[in-house]
Structure 1
Amino acid sequence: MSSQLNDAMESLIKVFYSYSVKEGDKYKLSNAELRTLLQEELSDFLAASKDPAVVEKIMKDLDENEDGEVDFQEFVVLVAALTVACNEFFVDLIKENCKGRK
């Protein structure tokens, strides 16, 4: 039986490659593949942003080697940053709820 963390890592890898194989280099996300991934997998985060150029900004920020594509390592940086942001939000929410009970 695999662990929850192992399953999460496997899911992350599967999601990346399910989008990256659609065009061009199967080991990297093109701008279009990244846009589709974000729209289908992280639509709540995109909806929170009112900036129509948010995907292009994300691509620019992630594409450290400036090759116009996002490899798996660059993609994981995005997932980690979003995970940290979610954690901070929930920690703050828990702290606020605890203060309200005093």
Structure 2
Amino acid sequence: MVSELEQAMESLIQVFHTYSGREGDKYKLSKAEMKLLLQGELGFFLTQSSKDPNTVDQIMRDLDENKDGEVDFQEFVVLVASLTVACNDFFVEQLKKQ
């Protein structure tokens, strides 16, 4: 039986590869692929920042550690981890208020 954490890891891998490789390197996300992923998978979290047309550019610059203009899986996981930490912090604060 697969654990919840193993399922979450599998989901991360599947989501990444659903969007990567539509153009260019199939193991990296181009800017266009990253935009599709953000809109398709994280639209709820990015609603506020989506009004800024430079949002995807900024996210790409922040994630692209090796400055190759693309986001590989390791760089993508940094985004997911950062958002997860931010969500956890928010929920902890909400629980403290109750």
State the TM-score, normalized to the length of structure 2.
0.96
Equivalent position of 1:35 in the other structure: 35
Q: Which runs of 5+ in 2 are unaligned?
A: none
Aligned positions of 1:57-68 closer than 5 A: 57-68=58-69
Equivalent residue letter for 2:18: S
Which is higher, the Rg of structure 1 or of structure 2?
Answer: 1
Instruction: Please identify which structure carries the higher helix content.
Output: 1
1:64-85 CA-partner distances (Å, limit 9, x unpaired): 1000000000000000000000
Q: Which runs of 5+ in 1 are unaligned?
A: 98-102
Fraction of identical pairs, as percent: 68
Equivalent position of 1:79 in the other structure: 80
Q: Matched residues in 1 for 2:21 and 2:2: separation?
A: 26
**Structure 1 contact 31–68 (Cα < 8 Å) conserved:** yes
Aligned residue pairs, count:
97
| Deviation, structure 1 residue 45 | 1.9
Pairing 1:96–2:97 present: yes
Q: Matched residues in 2 for 1:83 and 1:48: separation?
A: 17
1:41-100 CA-partner distances (Å, limit 9, x unpaired): 000122121422111100000001000000000000000000000000000000001xxx
